[in-house]
Chain A
């Protein structure tokens, strides 16, 4: 293979990444931007307290560079995405198939007597987002799984270009609809950093309340899907009821069931329409019910049998990949942006560190979510108790970003969301959103050791990811 037009920059980037990941930091994302004939790679490295952007410019006219994936496995999907977006070839990449562009069906990964592929999707049984799983199986076991996510690719990242900073948040909310608040927060944190504005304390607390309500709704949704997969009709209905009531509370607060329109650059658009005391009273009732049903669910042995040992992600792989959110926590790798890189009200409210887990199976992931639900109720309670009279408060400060580029982050229910935003002349010149769904979904390749076809719905539900967020 000819390596064309590579300078020392990419090698230096690779060495820096090997060095920093070796010291416990993690590759949080990789993107490429094209400026005329020059392509620049940007690697995001998450460390306690900050996320750094390391850049490597390819020589003008370069058509490729030596792939980072052999050294840094977390770059696997990112390099395929970069190849789709820019045409730049990561030379030596182990499987350079299109990711968000349509491509030929992937070649069979495992071959042998009696092995066949079950194509599952993109239009799937039930109400699901569109994506395709290619399950390679001899009939029961799943020696390998392939995913094709390109169906849902909408070109969200490109659509940001040219928007005003104020309009951009509307698109961020619709990048991954079930994590609208987290995406809006990550985007606004970047814009606010460029503008250098400090949002009002009460606005920061309302942001926390909405972000945590979103987390509760998402985790309840996972519980619904797991209970449904196990055929527990009453449990499915109970958790669906709780989720619906949480969404209704959110809509009573802001008008949208997904918290859309709340977060704006500079703060929040308005304070909740429902008084804080009423919100807290309602949440106390919800927490009592959710806690009771969750205890019952985690005490139903026929349910636990299906989750225990199912879809295990080893702690070593979780650490190596930098697995985000509940998936990482269940495998003993916890890098929660709310704790390690706190934003908005989280520094003040001091979220408790997650409990220790290492089983990495579907049950551990549910237990992590159970803990996060309890913690979320507590955080909202802290954020909204002693809330001052709204008439004395300003919901937002003017936020007029000058020229600049920076990273913003927020912890979505699925894990950390990153936004790399560049603004010039009042318009977005580039915006690279990176959802936790994208970063984590690739791990689903690796968790089918010993699991069989009927475990599939449990594993998928326990990941709790969104195809929209993955394909963007």
Chain B
């Protein structure tokens, strides 16, 4: 056993200082695509495999459908750019509509109302948050990124966040996956088993919109009420951590 104790000291402290200090890796992350140009009638039909690009009046991207394939950025760098960074208010959304960029005019106020309501609900959770994860039909990659949060690099225990086996002990539900029919019941049962106040985070583009499977499966919001949306296919562990902190009022 002493052998492993010594091995544990080898690399020193590898844990990120985020959110107290900025993290280089989180900052360099390429997030869902944003719109940088505003060409009047751009030829972008069929560019996006999930139909995230909307051309109504002006070009908009529904980041909730973005699977980070980067085709639009490669084809039209004048119009589209990668989102910058895995953290910050832009990396998670409190309403589904807020994922459409650039924002529709009235969304800002609506988001402020939602934010205030969420904050009021989660004030009691401040220093100790227990999380239950449910896979509702993911491709498996989101689970890896959530598991990474328990590793030494992200180490969410330092922030007072713990995973729990029982929904009865859980404050936050992390739901991944496109919302497969077989898991609609188990997902709902898990949510129903959680005591109030409870918060639901949809992790990943599949959970937000169904992603590439979006014609038949439209994410988890049809099964449980989602409070925070994190797009990405999959999102970075920082993106998931960011959403956890936003959901519990530790980050605004």
- Give A contacts to B, CB under 8 Å: 102, 122-123, 125-130, 150-156, 159, 163, 167, 170-171, 174-178, 180, 221, 224, 232, 234-235, 237-238, 240-241, 243-244, 247-248, 255-258, 260-261, 269, 289, 292-293, 296, 300, 466-469
Contact = CB atoms under 8 A, between A and B. Distances in A.
Contacts of A296: 3-4, 7
B178 interface: yes
Nearest to B153: A244
A130 B8 contact: no
26 contacts: A102-B181, A123-B189, A127-B143, A129-B135, A151-B183, A152-B182, A153-B182, A154-B137, A159-B213, A159-B215, A167-B49, A174-B212, A176-B140, A177-B141, A178-B144, A234-B8, A240-B152, A244-B151, A255-B68, A255-B70, A258-B234, A260-B233, A261-B69, A466-B140, A467-B135, A468-B140
Interface in B84-128: none
Nearest to B4: A234
A177 B7 contact: no
Contact of B190 (A123, A155, A163, A258): A123
A467 B135 CA distance: 10
Contacts of A260: 68-69, 233
Interface of B: 3-5, 7-8, 10-11, 14, 25, 30, 49, 67-70, 74, 133-148, 150-153, 163, 165, 177-178, 180-183, 186-187, 189-190, 206, 211-213, 215-217, 233-234, 236
A177 B143 CA distance: 10
A297 B194 CA distance: 39
A170 B151 contact: no
B175 to A, nearest CB: 11
A237 B8 contact: yes
Given A155-B213, A296-B7, A469-B140, 16 more contacts: A122-B182, A127-B163, A130-B137, A153-B181, A154-B137, A154-B213, A155-B217, A156-B213, A159-B212, A241-B14, A241-B153, A243-B151, A255-B30, A257-B234, A258-B141, A468-B138
Contacts of A257: 145, 234, 236
Nearest to B155: A237
B163 A467 contact: no
Contact of B183 (A125, A130, A289): A130
